[in-house]
Amino acid sequence: MREANHNLLGRNKKSSQGFTLLELVLVIIILGVMAVGVSGFITLSTQTYLNATNRDELIGNARFVIERLSRELRNVVPNSIRINTFDAGQCIQFTPITASTIYIDIPVAPEVASKTLSVIPFIDDLTGTTYEYNIGDLVTVYPLITEDIYTNTSGRVLAKTFPIDVDNSDTSGVINLLDNLSPDVNFEEDSPTQRLYITNQQVSYCYALSSGVGTLIRFSEAIAGGTQIYPTSTGVFMAGYLSNTNPFNYASATLQRNAVVQMRLQFSNNDENYVFDHEVHINNVP
């Protein structure tokens, strides 16, 4: 009886001693291995997420800029595209078509000079309403080079682009030119298809540095005569992380093909680099 009680007491004493040092070391090692594995998994997942986010941001930048610029370039006055490189970066500039129609009669040299144009009324295909002239509107006929559009016509009697008299022009088919021109004017030549364009703004897409990051900025200004300069107005942010300062190239139209704008946009951010090549064919129907 005493021996049985002695054995029971020995077992209870042994079970109350706790963990041994070896057991604690083994537990610490196992927990350490698990911690390294879990932290590595979390780090890898986080890095994968960040890489995917950077990649999506760069691709989104490219898609937005290419789509926006392509749509605008397809609605420009023929031969109004020009590109120049400045200290701040390269700019592509063009004048969007505000309205277009077929003219019935315009003064063309050596015909009698006049400031009145007879045209088919401008009708909006979507709304069915006629176009209303705005301050700063210019009318251009058969522009073949950029100088035909970006030329100061003040005081000239022979040109291809003239400012419109908004107050004295109506929407029923009569366009009057501004009175501050010479008494009467002549257009240099007729359009083979009698096309006439109205334009109002010059739009520029320019490379610029912002806090050390390359960006693409869109500017919209009144059409200014003379050579192309870097815009001085406040622009609108279009895309960031642009790493090439000269992303545009323009091939003018020939007898065999239309004009082509080539875009090579290179985006870089956090070791992610993407290059997008895109071409826009410009319908050359002056």
Convert the pLDDT of each residue in 39-88 to its tens digit: 776 777 666 656 666 677 777 778 888 999 999 999 999 999 999 999 98
Q: For 97, phi and psi rounded to 5 degrees?
A: -80, 120
Average predicted confidence (pLDDT) for the chain = 85
Least confident range from 177-181, 190-194, 195-199, 202-206: namely: 177-181
CA torsion angle 217 136 138 84 (round to 10): -30
Asked if residue 217 lies in contact with residue 236, where contact means CB atoms within 8 angstroms, the answer is yes
Q: What is the per-residue pLDDT for 164?
A: 92
Convert the pLDDT of each residue in 105-152 to its tens digit: 999 988 999 999 999 988 776 677 788 889 999 999 999 999 999 987
pLDDT-derived band at 195 (thresholds 50, 70, 90) equals very high
Look at phi and psi of residue 242 and say left if phi exceeds 0, alpha if psi is from -120 to 50, else beta.
Answer: beta
Share of the chain above pLDDT 70, in %: 86
- The distance of Cα 68 from the centroid of its chain, to the nearest Å, equals 5
Q: For 216, phi and psi rounded to 5 degrees?
A: -115, 120
Q: How distant, in Å, are the alpha carbons of 42, 80, 211, 212, 238 from that of 55?
A: 20, 35, 21, 20, 17
Q: 200: which 2 tokens? A: 């109002």
Q: 113: which 2 tokens? A: 């000079």
